[in-house]
Amino acid sequence: MKYKLIALDLDGTLKNSDNQITAKTKEALIEVQKQGVKIVLASGRPTAGLRHEAKELLLDKFGGYLLSFNGARVGTVPNQETVYEQTLSIEEAKKVYTRAKQYNLACMTYKNDSIYTEDIDDEYVCIEAKINDIRKYQVSSFIDILENPIHKVLLTGTPEYIASIEEEFKKPFGNELSIYRSAPFFLEVMAKNIDKAASLDRLAKSLGIKQEEVIAFGDGYNDLSMIEYAGLGVAMENAVEEVKQRAKVVTKSNNEDGIAYVLSQIYEGVEY
């Protein structure tokens, strides 16, 4: 099979435990792009949080894509033309915020390439800002900043607490919204039917690429849909158990160049 599109989760997949893309993985991904393969960075991160990795992998040179907010937006590199976009309405975002306050969850969203939150010192808000290398702003009222539809609301709590309340938290929304964990301490809220697989499918079809010609690499719960969607769904060795069980292949960990390991077996000129 000649794979034409590679979707990459970032944290725990493309990047190692030191938050770096290793030289071996970088070389492998640049080599496949030289062969005409398209790369899409597929992450729960905001678009601004993908800019450094896109530059490092030369997506601007080869014409790659950014699938951000777990698929609520897909855009081109480098000019960021929108391929697909779906947002939460202001009313939906308000309902999520109200529910979050009932469960004492910190709540944040993104605006002007920054984080806006009432909980600026929350441990997990700080983690999100650091991961994405973006600023965070304290607001007195989350609702007051909802002037336009948004791509995502991110809720945070301890992993144990998030796991214990996730299903109960979702109940009032039924199938109206997409709500699921990414990291154990993050609960992501997007518009209905938003996930990485749905948006990856839209991108592939816009490029004339078949589902079986797609490779997807991931490690977390929010990667599960695209790993099951792809012709070759690959879980990292460090992935959560459910992802490993449902992937077609389990590769080496993100600290062992698991992406390069798989690509070296598929594409000539890629070394491991």
**78 cis-preceded (ω within 30 degrees of 0):** yes
Q: Of the listed 9, 11, 195, 223, which one is catalytic?
A: 9
Residue 59 and residue 173: Cα distance in Å, rounded?
A: 37
In this structure, are residues 109 and 152 in contact, taking their beta carbons and an 8 Å threshold?
yes
* β-strands 136-138, 177-181 pairing: unpaired
The length of the chain in residues reads 272
3-state secondary structure of 211: helix
Active site residue 11: no
- Is the separation of the CB atoms in 183 and 220 below 8 Å? yes
CA distance 253 to 234: 11
C-beta of residue 179 within 8 angstroms of C-beta of residue 70: no
3-state SS assignment for residue 82: strand
Cα separation, 45 vs 60, in Å, equals 19
CB 225 within 8 Å of CB 197: yes
Q: Which residues of 206-216 are buried (b: 16+ CB within 10 A; e: fewer)?
A: eeebeeebbbb
Active site (catalytic) residues: 9
